[in-house]
Amino acid sequence: MKKANGSGNGSWNGLTKYRQLLLAKRADLLAPLRTKLDIFAAPVGGAPEDLAQVFHDQFVALQLNRVGFHDLKLIDAALKRMESHDYGVCLSCGDPISPKRLIAIPWATCCIDCQERLSSAPVPAPGVEAAA
Ligand SMILES: [Zn+2]
């Protein structure tokens, strides 16, 4: 068994793995985005009833792209946190995010505990202001 780089935490080693996961996911997202955008470059012509189909395809492509861009932002943010050495740390409580979770969701911004707390937190009723 080799020791990881001597100093510091061994998790630094694992970052390469997460970075690869993030970059692979990024490439996955970008590949279809390129082909989807080809729809907009296609020459528009023909009968009006064909145009309806073209506009529908463009609309669908836009919706898909919105989802893709949202994920891309999360991935880019994770890559940035890697550079600033904040990667793998829960943004909510500051605890390390478990490697298992990072492998499943390499762009996760908070630990499983905080994620569960956030998703189960009661949503304040609209119009009700917290008494200060
Ligand atoms: Zn947390």
Q: What share of the chain is helix, strand, coil (3-state, %, to 5)?
A: 60, 0, 35
Q: Can you tell me which residue has the tokens 């009006």?
A: 48
| Å from CA of 102 to ligand 1 middle | 13
| Å from CA of 91 to ligand 1 middle | 7
pLDDT digits (tens, 9 = 90+) for 61-103: 777 777 788 889 999 999 999 999 999 999 999 999 999 999 9
Average pLDDT over residues 30-54: 71
pLDDT confidence bin for 12, thresholds 50/70/90: low
**DSSP output for 22-72:** HHHHHHHHHHHHHHHHHHHHSPP-S-HHHHHHHHHHHHHHHHHHHHHHHHH
Mean pLDDT across the chain: 80
* Percentage of residues in the chain having pLDDT higher than 90: 42
Q: What residues does each domain of the chain span?
A: 14-87, 88-121
Report field, pTM of the whole predicted structure over 0.85:
no
In angstroms, what CA-CA distances link 94 with 37, 40, 48, 88? 39, 44, 57, 9
